[in-house]
Structure 1
Amino acid sequence: MRTTLSFYVYILSVLVIAGCASSNKSMKQLPEAQVRPSEQQSAPINEELSLIAIQSKYLLKDTTQTKVYLYVDAFKGKNPISVAEFTKIYNLNYVIYSDYGTRDRLGYGNVKLDSSNVSRVGDKIVIAYDIKSPNKDYGVLLSEISQTGTLKKVLNDLTIKFKKLSVSQTYGLYTATSAQPLQRHYVNANEAFTLRKVGEGSDQLHVFYYNHDFEAAGSPMNVAPKTISKSLEVDSSFTINTNEPLHFDKEGLYNVFADTTQSEGLGILVVNERFPKVTRPQLLLGPLLYMSTNNEINEIKKAEDYKKALDKYWLTLMNGNAPLAQQSIRSFYSRVEEANQLFTTYKEGWKTDKGMIYIVLGPPDKVQRSKDREVWTYDQRGNAQNVNFTFNRRNNQFVDDHYELVRYAEYQPIWYPVVEAWRNGSIR
């Protein structure tokens, strides 16, 4: 799974910022982890150094200082590299631009990597470093990790709102086993965690709980005007203290505020203990919405035994070919798991617009990003070439990275052949 999961966190880092090198190669070739033949090192393949992907986030200390976190998948062969080896081999430089596509630099510098700012969380290397915030509302931070003595480097871009001291920009979510904040929006039920600022001090925060099952993404061809969203009813509310151990046992969405007059909070989705994997029979049904008819979904819902109904569904699609059905199931739900890891916001990743496109079509071949938009390009899908899907960032009361797909009826000849490929077992 390492290859596919790296698509999103890498592809967002490889953007055209004026004056900076970038790439638009297919993620299937892992451009971040590969080099041109002329740059290949003579080390045995099982010892090859590679940076697969970088994720990033930031927390504001105040309007003058920002703490940046880079979550790096770094390997030596198939094994995660140690912190000591990483700090010897790699260098970090950064530039702050005023926006995408400009040469207007607001700041730059290099960061000496050592045990004081590099640690390991699970299989990831985490780099934490401080930057001086420019006197601007907004900027784009470009971090570059390069390998000493080679031309290999990995870029990551991060948009920062330097003056927006809201709860999601100032409070980090930490597990009991990590000194660094989580990059994701979810925790598992009963997983111990704390909320705290980068600086010192303890605060009381307000929490609103929503026991709500959010809808899955609609068809990319559905251009009908959206109905007005109903307001969500708060199921319960309570207060918590920062820097104190917490756990939420009820699954659902928790929105955290420092001040109840604020309109945007820090959304934390509490999910079952197996998430991002999907294993419960009742939960396996949901993602099938993207490749099934309404009648097929309704038949499974009516069944007394979900597992038997799901087995029958897949076997029927594969004309009774059990090995092909098993392989198709693994492929499909691997995509679902990856979508949950990559795109979960206030709802599970598979339910988001990005998750839907990712599950059905796979990783895009190119991504272009600007301040409030992402464009995914597929070189060849269905009966078309150079297919673009545009996602616009929308204001959201729970998260600040909510994107919605621009839908077109013209996607039909692209979408249905790929769905049919899933239904006949052609996609592995």
Structure 2
Amino acid sequence: MRPGPSFYLYIFSILWIAGCASSNKSTKQLPEAQVRPSQLQQASSSVNEEPSLVAIQSKYLLKDTTQTKVYLYVDALKGRKTISPADFIKTYNLNYVIYSDYGTRERLGYGNVKLDSSNVSLVGSKIVIAYDLKSPNRDYGVLLSEISQVGTLKKVLNDLTIQFKKLQVNQVYGVYTASSPQPLQRHYININEPFILKKVANGSDQLHVFYYNHDFEPAGSPMNVAQKGSTKTLEADSTFTINTSETLHFNKEGLYNIFADTTQSEGLGILVVNERFPKVTQPQRLLGPLLYMSTNNEINEIKKAEDYKKALDKYWLTLMNGNTPLAQQSIRSFYSRVEEANQLFTTYKEGWKTDKGMIYIVLGPPDKVQRSKDREVWSYDQRGNAQNVNFTFNRKNNQFVDDHYELVRYAEYQPIWYPVVEAWRNGSIR
């Protein structure tokens, strides 16, 4: 017997709840801070009140060629709750070393940062530390920040590459919102969200904005080794000027690339997204990430449907052989990964569309990340039928962002990839 319309609507409500419900756990982060993402769940579920550092993200802004401002965005818990700035200051120390490159011991500078209320704040669910560096007389360096717990051997590291002489707009200007007294670490803001562009060194400037109403393509298969065609020229849909240090808002979704000088090749790309992002909730948007676990025929059938809600319900129920609880769990698991990919990897396009986002959604957080100046290698202890699986991402020049990475694709990923995709399709991934 075929289920009636009310049943489809019930299942779709699960989809909606999966996208809209707030998560009680902190966002899983890449183990760039030398902590595995699995430790986040352990920390979140812990019943004791021991402080724990889960992960660190970072960015920098240049005051000029001699001074750099560094920002660390720390997921720090005490029991299940975010630690307060006062407790963080009492519990942790911060030291740093600047190396000339990855894999070298040449030090360009080092120091200790005294943590106090002037440089430690709580922004949302993250502790944000802001500190100043005297820039070495080099074009480039690797900053290693170490946060250690007082009286213990526990520490967390973060590495950050800095171009000390590159005074382009994305190295000089930060994006600030009403909810964040520190510059955003992410590349996106929500539609109509008020924000300010400003320099650490203050002052007001006029900047040039190029707007692109373009839907960028999602990542291709890891096994697609075919050479890319010639790069297409992307024409701006409109251009205008803005003033820094003034409250702004963008009322159209899309990509805004900002330049101090129109002759520059690299800008500050800001992706303006819907008000629910990084969550994915609308039926049309829920379809996109399914590309990574679906056949072309399945995607086309949903696209042709008059009622997206009903088509998505049918898709999940068919995969799970009509098992409603299993469909609920699979939906939550899949779109939780999509949300995390959006938080972690959004650049000039949504995080789920990037190469890193695709790998993260299907395979989950890597067990280890190795980084060099222009490369990241993600290692998985075991996935599918294989052990010690590596995915290499190379940093590529990009006119919108300075952290664009592309996956090195191999046909040999097939026996790794397809079993994991099949696990998504039969509901065995939690």
TM-score normalised over the length of structure 2:
0.92
2:38 to 28, 34, 37: 28
> Aligned-pair distance for 1:410?
0.4
Contact 1:4–1:363 (CA<8 Å) still a contact in 2? no
**Alignment partners' CA distance in 2, 1:32 and 1:242:** 43
Whole-angstrom distance in 1 between the partners of 2:156 and 2:261: 39
Residue 111 of structure 2 is aligned to residue 109 of structure 1:
yes
Given residue 165 of structure 1, which amino acid in structure 2 is its aligned partner?
A: L
* Contact preservation (8 Å) 1:3, 1:28: no
Residue of structure 2 in register with 1:131 after alignment: 133
| In structure 1, distance between residues paired with 2:252 and 2:208 | 17
State how 1:7-22 maps to structure 2 within 5 Å: 7-8=29-30, 11-14=31-34
User: Match for 1:310: what amino acid?
Assistant: L
The one-letter amino acid of 2:152's match is: T
1:85-100 alignment to 2 at 5 Å? 85-100=87-102
From 155, 159, 162, give the equivalent of 2:161.
159
- Alpha-carbon distance in 2 for matches of 1:83, 1:30: 20
Given that 2:53 and 2:77 are in contact with CA atoms closer than 8 Å, whether structure 1 keeps it comes out as: yes
Q: Secondary structure at the match of 1:209?
A: strand
Query: What is the alpha-carbon distance in structure 1 between the residues aligned to residue 379 and residue 87 of structure 2?
Result: 36
The Cα shift of 1:7 comes to 3.1
> In the TM superposition, what is the alpha-carbon distance from 1:3 to its structure 2 partner?
6.6
Q: Cα distance 1:204–1:56, how it changes in 2: closer, same or farther (>3 A)?
A: same
Partners of 1:33 and 1:308 lie apart in 2 by 38
Q: Who is 2:80 aligned against?
A: 78
C-alpha separation between the residues in 2 aligned to 1:203 and 1:81? 38
In 2, the alpha carbon distance for the partners of 1:190 and 1:30 equals 33
Alignment of 1:171-320 (within 5 A): 171-320=173-322
What is the rounded CA distance, in whole Å, between the counterparts of 1:365 and 1:268 in structure 2?
A: 30
Deviating above 4 A after TM superposition, structure 1's stretches of 4 or more consecutive aligned residues are 1-4, 30-34
Aligned-residue offset at 1:51: 1.0
User: Contact 2:29–2:344 at 8 Å: present in 1 too?
Assistant: no
Match of 1:119 in 2: 121
Tell me how far apart the structure 2 counterparts of residues 418 and 174 of structure 1 sit (CA, whole Å).
Answer: 40
Contact persistence 2:43–2:80 (CA under 8 A):
no
How many aligned positions are there? Answer: 407
Q: What is the TM-score of this pair, normalised by structure 1? A: 0.93
Alignment match, 1:404: 406
Cα-to-partner distance string for 1:23-52 (whole Å, 9 max, x where unaligned)? xx7532459969xxxxxxxxx942111111
**Is 2:24 the partner of 1:5?**
no
Identity of aligned residues (%): 83
Instruction: Assess if the C-alpha contact under 8 Å between 2:139 and 2:165 holds in 1.
Output: yes
Deviation track 1:190-231 (CA, whole Å, cap 9, x = no partner) reads 111000000121000000000000000000000000011211
The amino acid of 2:33's aligned partner reads S
- Aligned position for 1:50: 52
Q: What secondary structure sits across from 1:374 in the alignment? A: strand
SS, match of residue 76 in structure 2: strand
Tell me, what secondary structure is at the counterpart of 1:264? coil
Native 8 Å contact 1:32 1:52 kept in 2: no
Q: Could you say which residue in structure 1 is the equivalent of 2:360?
A: 358
CA drift of 1:383 comes to: 1.1
Secondary structure in structure 2 of the residue aligned to 1:310: helix
Report if the CA contact (8 A) 2:283-2:309 is conserved.
yes
C-alpha deviations, 1:221-259, integer Å up to 9, x for none?
A: 000000112111110000000000000010000000000
Counterpart amino acid of 1:386?
N
Q: Distance in 1 between matches of 2:75 and 2:418?
A: 35
User: CA 1:141–1:33 in 2, change beyond 3 Å: closer, same or farther?
Assistant: farther
1:423 CA drift (Å): 0.4
Cα 1:124–1:7 shift into 2, 3 Å? closer
Q: Aligned partners of 2:371 and 2:306: how far apart in 1? A: 46
- 1:404 corresponds to which letter in structure 2? E
Query: What secondary structure, in the 3-state scheme, does the structure 1 residue paired with 2:48 have?
Result: helix
- 1:6 is displaced (CA, Å) by 3.2
Aligned-residue RMSD, C-alpha: 1.6
The unaligned stretches of length 5 or more in structure 1 are 15-24, 35-43
In structure 2, distance between residues paired with 1:231 and 1:422 = 37
AA in 2 matched with 1:297: I
SS in structure 2 at match of 1:94: strand
Q: For residues 297 and 337 of structure 1, what CA distance do their matches in structure 2 show?
A: 20
Does the 8 Å CA contact 1:91/1:112 hold for their aligned counterparts?
yes
CA–CA distance in 1 between the matches of 2:352 and 2:208? 29
- DSSP 3-state at the match of 2:382: strand
Q: Which runs of 5+ in 2 are unaligned?
A: 1-22
SS of the aligned residue for 2:166 comes to coil
Provide the C-alpha distance between the structure 2 equivalents of 1:182 and 1:420, rounded to a whole number of angstroms: 37
Q: Give the structure 2 partner of residue 394 of structure 1.
A: 396
Q: Counterpart of 1:150 in 2: which secondary structure?
A: coil
Cα offset for 1:124? 1.0
Which amino acid in structure 2 is aligned with residue 57 of structure 1? K
What is the deviation of 1:329?
A: 0.6
Deviation of 1:4 after TM superposition, in Å, equals 7.7
Separation (CA, whole Å) in 2 of partners of 1:112 and 1:283 = 45
State the distance in 2 between where 1:31 and 1:271 align: 28
What residue number does 2:369 align with? 367
